[in-house]
Amino acid sequence: MATHHIRPRHITFFCTILIVMLAGAGVPGDPSSPQETTSFSSRSADIPDLTWNPINGDEIKLRSLEGFGVIYSFLDPTDERQLEQLPIFQAILEKYESKGLKIITVVAVTLPDTVAPGSFFEGYDWPIVVWNNQAELSGSGITSLPSTAIVDRKCKVVMKVSLVTSRTQMMLESAIAAALR
């Protein structure tokens, strides 16, 4: 009966191959890998370099808001469920504005000529932006509406949310409080 002797250099060679294969495959559940989601996700990524011209003010560069916490939300104002987010944002802004929170709402649709853009937003005094360039929207990483992100004082996205509701408001406020620290 022949015995086969495994040499230490063979073991080293096989271990090296195994390590390279595992590294190439990735580790499931790696928190640094991007996650697709339709609800909440925590991320630590730079905010997109977005520039907007709001209806009621001067040009806004999202990166120029470093030092503030920011909620920016893309929505379709023809969808009633999405408009229900506005009073929630209003309540959040009233609670956290003195701590450095800013809100920007982006109306990400082409509005009919007969509809005045501001008519959807009576009583909301944060910047409202009409953005109807869908290619530019997709290029900014916004693939579906509604889409909301919370950005911390260091210009890092700390949470992405789809539809904000009264049931998810507490979770959202927890992320906002952390972003404002």
CB-based contacts of 128: which residues, under 8 Å, 6+ apart? 54, 55, 56, 105, 107, 117, 118, 121
Per CATH, which fold does 38-179 belong to? Glutaredoxin (3.40.30)
Domain limits of the chain? Answer: 38-179
User: Which class for 122: exposed (0-12), middle (13-18), buried (19 or more C-beta within 10 A)?
Assistant: exposed
Instruction: Count the helices and strands in the chain (H runs, E runs).
Output: 5, 8
* Interval 20-31: pLDDT, tens: 444 443 333 333
Q: Which helix (H) or strand (E) holds 29?
A: none
Helix H segments across 106-168?
134-139
**For the segment 48-85, what is each residue's pLDDT rounded down to a tens digit?**
667 777 766 778 887 788 899 999 898 888 888 998 99
Task: Read off the pLDDT of residues 93-112 as tens digits, 9 standing for 90 and up.
Answer: 999 999 999 999 888 776 66
Closest to 55 (Cα-Cα) out of 116, 113, 142: 116
The residue type at 105? T
Phi, psi of 50 (to 5 degrees): -100, 140
